[in-house]
Amino acid sequence: MKKRKTLYRLLACVSIIFIFYALVKNYWIDPGATGFLSRKTGLKRELNLPVWLNVMYVHVAFACLAMASGLVNFSNRIFEKSRKFHRINGYIYIVSVLLVVLTSGYMAPYATNGKISSWGFNALNMLWLFITITALIQIKKKRIIRHRNWMIRSYAFCFTNMFIHLITSLFHQGLGLEYAASYTIGIYASIALLLVIPEIIIRTSRTELTIR
């Protein structure tokens, strides 16, 4: 139980900091995404900047909402107080994920380094949608533990952007690789991490319960 509380507090800290960072950076510091767009290479189609920016604003807003609503629904205290709120908030999470996936689908063809990065984003979108729908199916069948496990897998994808930029920085600034190649590596390495990390968390939780 202590491990779960510690993990949740750590998750809450990281989530809140990242939400604050994403909102400030994209809506205040650099609302025109000048820094990000300046690094885009390998584009095969012309980017309609006003449309792209509006889609990005929607994408960021619902990505933050998904992260916040998912975090709230992992709270046992809130779940015990109001299962109705948990259910409604769960649907907010699902709708947010759907809108993030749709907006990401629009932006994918304009990804840095062209098609190879675009394929990675499309794979991420399909995986996230599949995992989230599976979580919904599990709770409809009253399989609470399976639902929770699939939600852990789904929630991990809320950190896609964070992982991509951390890995990109590691390869670009740390190892001196060109930005476009580093960004592509960041996308595919993130896919691997987003699939592996939740499994470690699920197995650790299962082991803790077995020991108790």
3-state class of 74 per DSSP? Answer: coil
What pLDDT was estimated at residue 211? 32
**What distance in Å separates the CA atoms of residue 24 and residue 46, rounded to the nearest whole number?**
28
In a domain, 143, yes or no: yes
Tokens for 205, please give them. 């939780």
- Domain extent, residue 157, equals 2-29+45-211
Radius of gyration of the chain (CA): 18
Whether residue 80 is contained in a domain is answered as yes
Residue 109 lies in a domain: yes
| CATH number of the structural domain spanning residue 137 | 1.20.120
For the chain, the domain total comes to 1
- Residue 179's identity, in one-letter code, is Y
Output the pTM of the full model. Answer: 0.92
Relative orientation angle of helices 144-156 and 49-73, to the nearest 10 degrees: 140
Please report whether residue 36 resides in a domain: no
* Domain assignment present for 34: no
Say if 141 falls within a structural domain.
yes
Q: Could you report the per-residue pLDDT of 82-139, keeping only the tens digit for each?
A: 999 999 999 999 999 999 999 999 999 999 999 999 999 999 999 999 999 999 999 9
In the Cβ-directed half-sphere of 182, how many Cα atoms lie within 13 Å? 18
